[in-house]
Structure 1
Amino acid sequence: MPRFSIIVPCFKVQGFLRECLDSVLEQSFRDVEVIAVDDRSPDACGAILDEYAARDPRVTALHLPENAGLGRARNAGMPHATGDYLFFLDSDDTLTPGALAALADRLDEAGNPDVLVFDYARTYWWGGTRRNALAELLSATDATFTAAERPEILDLLMVVWNKVYRRSFVEEHGFAFPPGYYEDTPWTFPVMLSAGRIATLDRICLNYRQRRQGNILSTTSRKHFDIHDQYERVFAFVGSRPELASWRPYLHRKMGEHCLDILSKPDRLPPGDKGEFFRRTAELMRRHRPAGEPFPADLRVLRGPYAAYRVRRQAGRAGRELARRGAQARVAAGARVYRGLTAVQARRPLDPHLVLYSAFSHRGVLGDPAAIYHKAREIAPQLRGVWVVRDAETAARLPAGVEHVLLDSPAYRRLAARATYFVNNVNWPGSLAKRAGSVHVHTHQGTPLKYMGADLLDKPGARLGVDVPQMLRRADRWDYSLVANEHSELVWERAYPCHFTSVRSGSPRNDVLVDPPRDRARAVRARLGVPEGHTVVLYAPTRREYRRGGHVERLDLARLAAGLGEGHTLVVRLHPSLATGPARGMGLSELHRRGVVVDATDEPHVEDLMLAADVLVTDYSALMFDYAHLDRPVVVHADDWPAYTASRGAYFDITAEPPGHVTRSQDELVRLFASGSWRDEESARLRAAFRSRFCAYDDGRAAERVVRTLLLGERMPEPGGAVRVPGPAVGGDLLAAR
């Protein structure tokens, strides 16, 4: 008996069908059967199914004598299913790599629940990807539950394909799909309300294809009237089970919202049928209104005539248009006021003690600007440091006592007009006019390996969405550019051909790496949940310009963690630009929940992670230049170096001049750790040469040097060029090795 019976109904999808079937049959988890149902498709779907069935015994091709529709095609496949769980996969969607293995593991862990709900991502015909906006509902608990215990689970998209169902549970209750549009509705509600044990999986297991054309629910048709019959079936089911009577108010509201949503779409119903659809919806709402329950306030429009609804809709559209025009007018007026206030403020003298700070596009007290800010508070308390943050949510996360203003607020504009010093690792907004006498200090975001600034002009893929001329106009405001080594100095002056002075200060954020605070690493490891004595392997990949969205799965993290063996903890930090995208949903969040890896992507201070790590595994991240200050092993995993350099460009070949061993496959990486050669003499030799080249200006006093020389006007010698060797890591293996 296979673990999964995957039922795939097919109708006019010949262009997508092979990709769908391949995504199932090429999974690492192979204990499946595929029941593919040709719903009398007029194209080549039937022939494609026969082809796959002939070459893979796991595939059964069924050919229906006449077109039955999506729901009944699924029904036709169910009697042939022998698997533990049913999986209804639409034939234009695809499974993500590793999805079935993750589902099987979660089912085992949850003790074979009735239903397992998993995550998905919308993939658009133009190449974009967007994760389910309610993904957080899938990570709320490890335990199984009922819909009554967690009713918010019903807020997820009520479709059949984001769940797997225990076949015996389906057969016991006799669940089946009705004919018509919206056939998922009378399946999903009864199933979810009846399930005694529901589990969730916080992993993107399915790519939900958003076709440019072809989605039947986006076509104009009277078939949308089927929604009424489908909710009649839902209420009939609930009516036959007295224990579900308490769900009637919820379903009553859900029905009204669903029907009004269809009515509000301009391309769903023929114009002459909208009044009829409204009246049938209103009648349905009256008939199924629970006794003693008030009519939902936001659906009361359904209690009046269709004409009143139309007036309200037109008024709503008119109101939104007025609001839009009003907003435009307010923006224009605000810009005029801003220019006026700026002109007034520009007549006032600069405040010689006011410093504005920002980091990573106003994301908080981070990076080099943070190190300079803290050092200024220590040695120059007369300076008033104010942080510019992007929104109230960011402001709420700031440490206590940090003065701040919101970007583009009146307070920001007043301070920006009078500040003498501006410290940032990203360019300030173009609206900021540089006053004579103001001093802009640009810290950058590390030593550059990949092309930056003007060098991107020859890399059209890498500069997609990047306005290089505007970037350079903003860089024209820089007075000082901080550099940590000669390589950076040469690159910045080439990549940003502007009138600034390079300052051999070192990188302020690396002061903590050159001279680590006592016991800080141990505290970080404890916070991350790393067992005492474990060797911490920090994996920090960068983004890829050759893939839309920037994320490419380079390693199987579960296999890597297993390959490291006992006594090791794999800590993963994705590039910050990928933190809120679908990357974590491709398995990282689930592996973190299961304790296989530690997902440290949200850790605000990457310096803490570096202090806690015994070895860094990266690809082409600038983090390697910072981590080198710790004089701990670095492994460069360069399995796509030619593609990366072709798309982004690099200032030198990191595989020829690496800070440690280079691997080009996962097997090679696992062997490197299994053999212990990741920390051998060759690794130390390569690291020493790398440190000599890229750590020359960091002496642990970079932040002090910036404050004294650039903010206070004092003299302080440039770094002496000595590469300091900090104390050992805190992992058991490295302590023993040293």
Structure 2
Amino acid sequence: MEGTCDLSVIVPVYNAAATLERVVGDVLALREAGLRCQVILVDDASTDGSAEIARRLSEECREVLFLQHDVNAGAGVARMRGWPHATGRYALFFDADDILHGDVLRLTVERMEAHPQVDTAMLAYRYERGRANTGLEMSFEDTRVFRQLLRAGAPAIGTPEEMGALLMVTNYPWNKVIRTAHFRQVGLRFGTTHVNNDIRGHWEMIVKARRVMLSDEVICTHLVDPEGPNITNQFGAERLQMLAALSDLYDMLERDGDLRRREAHRFWGVAQRLFCWARPRLEPAIVPRFDAAWRELIARIDLGDYTDLRLRHDPDLADALANHLLHPQGS
């Protein structure tokens, strides 16, 4: 029953046996600070014993719920499997291999309690890359957006229109705390692709909120192994799903003409940035199919949005999109 605890943390689990107990322990430790927490573990057909660990944790602790997929469906599907079971007044979609900063999470819940119109709180993050654990802050572009919106101080609170630049921030799910009841009412969906399934959820958490709160406090350390097997490092046929994820998001924008007109320039900015990131890394055999799917997506652009992009927002981006569409070999 919704509201029976303070916070639900939904964790998709895939081959995370080495870190799963730590993540669950970090969440449950918040009980000592007076925060009643629920952990929902959704095993996505792991092969390393993660499911057995998750099942044991659920048997040992009534605050832990264990769900399981027979077939690997991707993190987005796993998140949506866990979402209906969330009983907390607030929810966080976390990953099973990252480090949670519980003190910031607790403070964020307290702030949202004090601001009942805030449905989404977005926080900062940091990286640890490689086995040397070299610590890095957020990406340069994400840092720029945070600084722009926090010029008057932190935290900052605004409408989705006022905080629209956050749509351009990297679409991680684990740096946003949401108000469960509100997103039950307005709907929330992650994508169903194996890659980039967070894009849809990231946008919905911003554009469907009544108010968005932003803070530069770090809620998560994201552990990245450049040589690891995670999906971020894969650039074969699975990367074609990136364009399917973008197409799914554009479907959402097309169903709301006012939203599309307001945020189309940001959508195409995100799409172009992802394209430029992925294409040089692709396996050569995938490039022709990737380029064809990219041109199909660009062909959907509304003429009025394109004109607005060229005249008001970003003429260089407008030129780049036209060049991709009209000169395929130049992609």
TM > 0.5 fold call:
yes
- Aligned equivalent of 1:74, options 79, 84, 91: 79
**What does residue 253 of structure 1 align with?**
269
Q: How does 1:454-493 map to 2 (within 5 A)?
A: none
Aligned-partner SS, 2:82: helix
Distance in 1, matches of 2:72 and 2:278, equals 25
**What does residue 242 of structure 1 align with?**
257
**What does residue 202 of structure 2 align with?**
188
Distance in 2, matches of 1:308 and 1:157, equals 27
Cα 1:283–1:67 change in 2 (3 A) is closer
Bigger radius of gyration:
1
Aligned-partner SS, 1:102: helix
Aligned-partner SS, 1:188: helix
Kindly state the Cα deviation for residue 111 of structure 1 after the two structures are TM-superposed.
2.8
Contact 1:116 1:200 in 2 (8 A): yes
Contact 1:9 1:74 in 2 (8 A): yes
Contact 2:168 2:266 in 1 (8 A): no
Kindly state the Cα deviation for residue 34 of structure 1 after the two structures are TM-superposed.
0.3
For 1:127, the aligned partner's letter is N
Distance in 2, matches of 1:217 and 1:128, equals 18
Cα 1:213–1:138 change in 2 (3 A) is farther
Kindly state the Cα deviation for residue 57 of structure 1 after the two structures are TM-superposed.
1.9
Kindly state the Cα deviation for residue 240 of structure 1 after the two structures are TM-superposed.
1.5
For 1:261, the aligned partner's letter is W
Structure 1 unaligned runs (5+)?
310-738
Q: Is 2:231 the partner of 1:231?
A: no
**What does residue 94 of structure 2 align with?**
89
Contact 1:120 1:206 in 2 (8 A): yes
Distance in 1, matches of 2:56 and 2:104, equals 24
**What does residue 558 of structure 1 align with?**
none
Q: Is 2:329 the partner of 1:307?
A: yes
Contact 1:147 1:154 in 2 (8 A): no
For 1:236, the aligned partner's letter is D
- Aligned equivalent of 2:234, options 219, 224, 249: 219
Distance in 2, matches of 1:273 and 1:287, equals 22
Aligned-partner SS, 2:118: coil
Cα 1:92–1:168 change in 2 (3 A) is same
Deviation track 1:438-483 (CA, whole Å, cap 9, x = no partner) reads xxxxxxxxxxxxxxxxxxxxxxxxxxxxxxxxxxxxxxxxxxxxxx
Contact 1:190 1:238 in 2 (8 A): no
After superposition, the CA RMSD in angstroms is 2.1
Aligned-partner SS, 1:98: helix
Higher strand share: 2
Deviation track 1:229-284 (CA, whole Å, cap 9, x = no partner) reads 212221211122233132223312322222222112x2xx2212212211221221
**What does residue 23 of structure 2 align with?**
20
Distance in 2, matches of 1:193 and 1:75, equals 19
Kindly state the Cα deviation for residue 89 of structure 1 after the two structures are TM-superposed.
0.5
For 1:208, the aligned partner's letter is H
Deviation track 1:2-46 (CA, whole Å, cap 9, x = no partner) reads 111100111111112122222222234331100111112111111
Contact 1:239 1:245 in 2 (8 A): yes
Contact 1:40 1:65 in 2 (8 A): yes
Distance in 1, matches of 2:128 and 2:64, equals 26
- Aligned equivalent of 2:137, options 127, 131, 142: 131
For 1:84, the aligned partner's letter is R
Cα 1:19–1:170 change in 2 (3 A) is same
Deviation track 1:671-713 (CA, whole Å, cap 9, x = no partner) reads xxxxxxxxxxxxxxxxxxxxxxxxxxxxxxxxxxxxxxxxxxx
**What does residue 11 of structure 2 align with?**
8
Kindly state the Cα deviation for residue 81 of structure 1 after the two structures are TM-superposed.
0.7
- Aligned equivalent of 1:296, options 297, 310, 318: 318
**What does residue 590 of structure 1 align with?**
none
Kindly state the Cα deviation for residue 155 of structure 1 after the two structures are TM-superposed.
3.0
Q: How many residues align structurally?
A: 306
Kindly state the Cα deviation for residue 299 of structure 1 after the two structures are TM-superposed.
4.0
Aligned-partner SS, 1:235: helix
Cα 1:88–1:97 change in 2 (3 A) is closer
Q: Is 2:159 the partner of 1:146?
A: yes
Q: How does 1:119-518 map to 2 (within 5 A)?
A: 119-124=124-129, 125-132=131-138, 133=140, 134=143, 135-137=146-148, 139-140=150-151, 141=153, 142-180=155-193, 181-211=195-225, 212-246=227-261, 247-264=263-280, 266=281, 269-291=282-304, 293=307, 294=310, 296-309=318-331
Distance in 1, matches of 2:255 and 2:264, equals 12
Kindly state the Cα deviation for residue 76 of structure 1 after the two structures are TM-superposed.
0.9
Deviation track 1:527-585 (CA, whole Å, cap 9, x = no partner) reads xxxxxxxxxxxxxxxxxxxxxxxxxxxxxxxxxxxxxxxxxxxxxxxxxxxxxxxxxxx
Percent of counterpart pairs with the same letter? 21
Distance in 1, matches of 2:178 and 2:303, equals 30
Distance in 2, matches of 1:272 and 1:66, equals 27
Kindly state the Cα deviation for residue 300 of structure 1 after the two structures are TM-superposed.
4.2
Higher helix share: 2
Cα 1:174–1:238 change in 2 (3 A) is same
Kindly state the Cα deviation for residue 52 of structure 1 after the two structures are TM-superposed.
1.7
Contact 1:53 1:61 in 2 (8 A): yes
For 2:12, the aligned partner's letter is P
Q: How does 1:718-729 map to 2 (within 5 A)?
A: none
Aligned-partner SS, 2:196: coil
- Aligned equivalent of 1:60, options 41, 60, 65: 65
Aligned-partner SS, 2:158: coil
Contact 1:84 1:167 in 2 (8 A): yes
Distance in 2, matches of 1:79 and 1:273, equals 37
Q: How does 1:598-613 map to 2 (within 5 A)?
A: none
Kindly state the Cα deviation for residue 298 of structure 1 after the two structures are TM-superposed.
4.1
Deviation track 1:379-403 (CA, whole Å, cap 9, x = no partner) reads xxxxxxxxxxxxxxxxxxxxxxxxx
For 1:215, the aligned partner's letter is N
Aligned-partner SS, 1:111: coil
Deviation track 1:58-99 (CA, whole Å, cap 9, x = no partner) reads 111112233222111111111111111120001111212413
**What does residue 313 of structure 2 align with?**
none
Distance in 2, matches of 1:49 and 1:18, equals 8
Distance in 2, matches of 1:138 and 1:102, equals 20
Distance in 2, matches of 1:44 and 1:8, equals 16
Cα 1:176–1:150 change in 2 (3 A) is closer
Distance in 2, matches of 1:44 and 1:156, equals 34
For 1:209, the aligned partner's letter is L
**What does residue 486 of structure 1 align with?**
none
For 1:276, the aligned partner's letter is R
Contact 2:279 2:287 in 1 (8 A): yes
Contact 1:249 1:290 in 2 (8 A): no
Kindly state the Cα deviation for residue 143 of structure 1 after the two structures are TM-superposed.
4.6
Cα 1:206–1:72 change in 2 (3 A) is same
**Does 1 or 2 have the higher relative contact order (CA < 8 Å, sep 6+)?**
2
Cα 1:2–1:277 change in 2 (3 A) is same
Distance in 2, matches of 1:220 and 1:20, equals 28
Aligned-partner SS, 2:173: coil
Cα 1:152–1:33 change in 2 (3 A) is same
Cα 1:287–1:100 change in 2 (3 A) is closer
Distance in 2, matches of 1:17 and 1:137, equals 36
**What does residue 116 of structure 2 align with?**
111
